[in-house]
Amino acid sequence: MAKVTVIGASGKVGQSAAYAISRIPYVTEIVLFGREGGEELLEGLKWDFVDAFAAVGRRIRVTSGTHPSLIKHSDMVIISSGVPRHTGQDRIDLAKKNARIVAGYAEMAAEQAPDSILFVVTNPVDIMTAVALKHSGFPPSRVFGLGTHLDSMRLKSFIAQHFKVHVSEVHTRIIGEHGESMVPLWSATTIGGIQLKNLPEFRTFPGEDMIDWVKDAGHYIIERSGATIYGPAEAIATLARTVLGNENRILSVSAYIRCEVHDIGNICIGVPAMLNRKGVFPIPIRISPEEVDDFQSSVEKLRKVTDEVFEFLGNDEGKNLL
């Protein structure tokens, strides 16, 4: 039995994620939440959802609106509100704009649903996860972001296509920033349980090209269809199901690390973490020296922007996330 609130439900990702989440058997209530002025749109969506549930014979309560009290007793609060990046706008400018939005909603969620788990989708997601952590005052285990989960799934699917095997035969992971400096963990990539580098085909394996494609996939989709919708929605629903169903799966999400990756810490970044009903718990890992170097570069890049955003928000002690 779980109540899930989606803040930003009037948006493309928010509404499709809410619908994907409504199929999770443990979810008994969904709140479609948005900012003031969006009540009518949210109400329309609510009744469309109700029709869909009637069509499939699903019993689930749906509410919608903009009043903070709707969030009360939520087990999970998902934040996908944010402004999209305009052509020519730099990432830091976008980060500052979205940080204000996410900070406000994180505070609201903490006030209304103090025992909930906060799940951040808004980009740049690693920095927004840090903002939500700080502004909710929640322990790190109860705040996480979509991080590199979708990137990891994209890579998994490309590897499966390349080797012509079922996706379930491929285990792989991308860590680091959800962005340019993401780090594929080839050392943790297996096909049918066999390490990638032990396969004869490894010599001709186009790993670099695949990562370039993963990095560009979001832009490629947005350029052609206007938005990434179904990929993020299903990725969000998978993570929500893993947490709410207490599944103890290890997935790559943006989480606060202390020292789990070669003693690097005090940052929110994509890492493998165990997900269950208590929250998100990064797994201590050892990776190859090249991967550590790349991860360190990704950390430094994020740390710089995170500090700038915290300075902008007026968190003087921002350099220490807890």
| CB of 121 closer than 8 Å to CB of 80 | yes
| Binding region for ligand NAP (CB under 6 A) out of 74-82, 111-119, 197-205, 289-297 | 74-82
Going from the C-alpha of 229 to that of each of 13, 19, 195, 226, 252, the distances in angstroms are 5, 12, 33, 9, 19
Q: What is the DSSP letter of 118?
A: E
Find the shortest distance in angstroms from Cβ 81 to ligand NAP.
Answer: 4
In whole angstroms, the minimum distance from the beta carbon of 259 to ligand NAP comes to 25
Segment near ligand NAP (CB under 6 A), from 70-78, 190-198, 224-232, 255-263? 224-232
CA nearest to 136, candidates 156, 111, 159: 111
Q: Which residues contact 242 (CB under 8 A, 6 or more apart)?
A: 249, 251, 275, 276
Q: Stretches 5-13, 22-30, 278-286, 305-313: which one binds ligand NAP (CB under 6 A)?
A: 5-13
Nearest to 206 by CA among 159, 150, 154, 157: 159
Please tell me whether residue 112 binds ligand NAP under the rule CB under 6 A. Answer: no
Based on the shown chain and the rule CB under 6 A, indicate whether residue 123 belongs to the binding site for ligand NAP: yes
Answer yes or no whether residue 182 interacts with ligand NAP by CB under 6 A.
Answer: no
Asked if omega into 124 is within 30° of 0 (cis), the reply is yes
Q: Which stretch binds ligand NAP (CB under 6 A): 70-78, 121-129, 181-189, 199-207?
A: 121-129
Q: Does 222 bind ligand NAP (CB under 6 A)?
A: no
* From 149, 178, 219, 262, active-site residue: 178
Q: Does 84 bind ligand NAP (CB under 6 A)?
A: yes
Task: Respond yes or no: is residue 149 known to be catalytic.
Answer: no
Distance of CA 251 to the CA centre of its chain: 11
SS3 180: coil
Residue 8 CB, nearest distance to ligand NAP (Å)?
4
Using rule CB under 6 A, residue 70 touches ligand NAP: no
Give the residue with the Cβ less far from ligand NAP, 13 or 309: 13
Comparing C-alpha atoms, which of 293, 8, 277 is closest to residue 175?
A: 293
Contacts of 62 (CB under 8 A, 6+ apart): 22, 29, 30, 31, 32, 46, 49, 50, 53
Question: Does residue 14 touch ligand NAP according to CB under 6 A?
Answer: yes
Site membership for ligand NAP, residue 176 (CB under 6 A): no
Question: Is 124:96 a contact under the CB 8 Å cutoff?
Answer: no
- Which residues form the interface with ligand NAP (CB under 6 A)? 8, 10-14, 34-35, 38, 80-84, 98, 101, 121-123, 125, 146, 150, 178, 227-228, 232
